[in-house]
Amino acid sequence: MTNDQRQGVIYGLLAYGLWGVVPLYFKLLSQVSTGEILMHRMLWCGLFLAIVVTIARRWGDVLRVFRTPRLLGLLCVSALLIGVNWLLYIVSVETQQVVQASMGYFLTPLLSVLLGLAVLGETMRPLQWIAVGVAALGCLILVLVSGQVPYLGLALAGSFALYGLARKTSKNVDGLLGLTIETLVLSPIAIVCLFLWQREGSLAFGNHGARLDWIIAASGLVTAFPLLAFGQAAQRLPLSSLGFLQFLSPTVQFAIAVLVFGEPFGPGRAISFAIIWIGVAIFLIDLWRAHWPAYEIPMEPE
């Protein structure tokens, strides 16, 4: 394995590992309202990325996007979708439904394949059809044993898959530039909401001590750093490797939900999740077979 590929694996593990432990961070904000957390996440992420873009001297690229109506429109759509996804995830932690959130992120790549088929005219290989069918069966069993549709998990999967679709159609926009534009679009909303809530005296920020304020401000790093690490990994690793690393995040989230937060996980859920994991395994096998031969990793001399 080359040094560049080793770095890619490290960046990938860092990105997906950090996404996996994010529920622990949001648990620290239990006394902060969902809306306030979301607005701070938008604002502080935007401020952090503005510093990164300044250091990288990429404000010219940012202005280029703002002068391109089609690109700006697509990134406004993706900004809305990622904002919805952030909101749903915060709700999943606050309402102790992280198990369901992890299910959503297990399903995301499978749903992305379906969107590629329906919207982009891509084709699906036989194993992909089987993977999607098995995962759908797992969801159906979950509905039957729980007596309710896992709306939160499905909404998380849908919003993030649609976000990926929007970003895929945004040509010539890399991860740093795209996320910067998205947060710049969302930041004015965050500023207005936080200002109004501050006038009402309902903000937690600035009213519960410096420790909580620093934790809230850290939402910028919590949001942006894994995405930047992912961007570095994507430049260094083949699609098949990223596909395998992708499932680290929901696996860690699932473990935290059950072992740390003590969320219920009875036999019915266990069966449905086992079937979903079988679908994921079939998907990964197909991904490996389709892409790995094109990315042979040369052995280094002894």
* pLDDT score at 245: 73
Confirm whether 106 is domain-assigned. Answer: yes
**Residue in this structure with the two tokens 């502080």, named with its chain if needed:** 44
Q: What are the pLDDT digits (tens) for 34-55?
A: 999 999 999 999 999 999 999 9
Domain coverage including residue 81: 3-295
Confirm whether 142 is domain-assigned. Answer: yes
Confirm whether 249 is domain-assigned. Answer: yes
Confirm whether 149 is domain-assigned. Answer: yes
* pLDDT score at 297: 40
Confirm whether 302 is domain-assigned. Answer: no
For residue 292, pLDDT beyond 50: yes
Confirm whether 220 is domain-assigned. Answer: yes
* pLDDT score at 43: 92
Cβ(28)–Cβ(215) below 8 Å: yes
Confirm whether 301 is domain-assigned. Answer: no
pTM beyond 0.95: the answer is: no
Confirm whether 250 is domain-assigned. Answer: yes
More confident residue, 45 or 175: 45
Q: What are the pLDDT digits (tens) for 97-111?
A: 998 888 888 888 778
The number of folded domains in the chain is 1
When mean pLDDT is compared across 64-73, 135-144, 155-164, 215-224, the lowest value belongs to 135-144
Binning pLDDT at 50, 70 and 90, where does residue 290 land?
Answer: low
Q: What are the pLDDT digits (tens) for 203-260?
A: 888 787 889 999 999 988 898 888 788 777 766 766 556 666 777 888 888 889 888 9
**Residue in this structure with the two tokens 């996980």, named with its chain if needed:** 265
For residue 296, pLDDT beyond 60: no
Q: What are the pLDDT digits (tens) for 3-34?
A: 777 787 788 888 888 989 999 998 888 888 89
* pLDDT score at 295: 43
